[in-house]
């Protein structure tokens, strides 16, 4: 408390708008990150709209006679052409359309499970960090336990029990992803609860939940946003891992991991187009989330330095 009294630094409270604008400016200077963000936005929009352009179905198998994907000269599905930009998948669907169709599920599950991860992790971490003492110790030991279980095995264990549905996958990936987030947020809350403003609220008689919700939560937004981008990448990766192992969405729904699994045989037999477009889109997506996360971290750091 003494520090508050003796410090005669003139605080000019920067309004939210300027701080936010400053951050945006720093972020926009990072060309790579802006490109990454644009990529994610474009990909999301494309996944929503491109499947609508197709008159063919992505769920019902076509027989050979009326399937434009069937190439009678090679007795198989055709490669890239003007008609099918990315060629045709191993089961006779247009590859570009199928990627976008699967992208709807993959992105939706990715976004939502990242949301679940963030909600659980932030709530748990801030509560533990704010309370401190033995509550913190117990909660963090519990977090340690969860962190030491390999995530994919934990996913498998839960799936072996709960089975798999779209909604279940969102929950399962979200529920197994928050341990690291909680640890980060706890560190953040530990720092913030001893700041002058938190102490001031306490002196004025503000309740603990008020400090947590109104003061610690908004001030840890930088860590939260950065973690959320990484969480998005992680959950998309986790989903692809599950899909690849055969525990992804069930037909007629399909996700990128299942598509990779379906493409293995045809790809190894020489149909390069069954994997490469998907691989490129997928790797670029995860790469973008990592780049954005890095850029955001830098942007927030600059903001802290300038303050």
Q: Which residues bind another protein (CB under 8 A)?
A: 141-142, 144-154, 156-162, 233, 237, 240-241, 244-247, 257, 260-261, 264, 267-268, 275, 279, 282-283, 286-287, 290-291
User: Which is closer to another protein, CB of 98 or CB of 211?
Assistant: 98
> Are 175 and 158 spatial neighbours (Cβ–Cβ below 8 Å)?
yes
Distance in Å, CB of 109 to another protein, minimum: 15
For residues 185 and 242, which CB has a smaller minimum distance to another protein in the complex? 242
With contact defined as beta carbons under 8 Å apart, do 102 and 89 qualify?
no
Going by C-alpha positions, the residue among 18, 21, 33, 12 that lies closest to residue 287 is: 33
Cβ atoms of 22 and 280 closer than 8 Å: no
CA-CA distance, 239 to 231, in Å (whole number)? 12
**Quick count: other Cβ atoms within 10 Å of Cβ 211?**
22
**Residue 44 DSSP SS3:** helix
Decide whether 41 or 283 has the Cβ nearer to another protein.
283
- Pick 164 or 202: Cβ nearer another protein: 164
Is residue 260 within 8 A of residue 243, CB to CB? The reply is yes
Question: In the bound complex, what is the minimum distance in angstroms from residue 145's beta carbon to another protein?
Answer: 4
Q: Which is nearer to another protein, 123 or 158 (CB)?
A: 158
Residues forming beta bridges with residue 71, ordered by sequence position: 76
């Amino acid at each position: 408390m003494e520090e508050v009294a003796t410090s005669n630094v003139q605080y000019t409270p920067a309004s939210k708008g300027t701080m936010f604008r400053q951050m945006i400016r720093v972020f926009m200077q990072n060309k790579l990150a802006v490109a990454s963000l644009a990529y994610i936005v474009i990909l999301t929009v494309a996944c929503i709209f491109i499947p609508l352009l197709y008159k063919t179905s992505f769920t019902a198998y076509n027989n050979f006679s009326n399937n434009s994907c069937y190439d009678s000269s090679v007795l198989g599905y055709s490669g890239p052409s003007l008609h099918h930009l990315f060629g045709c998948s191993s089961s006779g669907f247009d590859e570009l359309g199928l990627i976008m169709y699967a992208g709807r599920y993959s992105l939706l599950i990715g976004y939502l499970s990242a949301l679940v991860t963030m909600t659980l992790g932030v709530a748990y971490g801030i509560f533990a960090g704010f309370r401190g003492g033995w509550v913190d110790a117990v909660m963090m030991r519990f977090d340690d336990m969860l962190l030491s279980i390999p995530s994919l095995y934990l996913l498998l264990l839960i799936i072996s029990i709960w089975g798999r549905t779209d909604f279940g996958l969102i929950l399962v990936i979200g529920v197994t992803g928050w341990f690291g987030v909680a640890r980060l947020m706890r560190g953040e809350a530990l720092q913030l609860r001893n700041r002058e403003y938190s102490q001031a609220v306490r002196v004025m008689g503000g309740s603990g939940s008020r400090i947590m919700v109104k003061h610690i939560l908004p001030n840890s937004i930088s860590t939260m946003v950065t973690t959320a981008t990484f969480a998005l990448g992680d959950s998309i990766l986790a989903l692809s891992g599950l899909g690849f192992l055969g525990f992804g969405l069930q037909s007629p729904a399909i996700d990128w991991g299942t598509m990779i699994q379906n493409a293995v045989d045809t790809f190894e037999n020489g149909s390069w187009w069954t994997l490469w477009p998907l691989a490129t889109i997928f790797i670029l997506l995860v790469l973008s989330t990592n780049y954005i996360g890095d850029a955001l971290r830098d942007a927030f750091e600059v903001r802290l330095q300038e303050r």
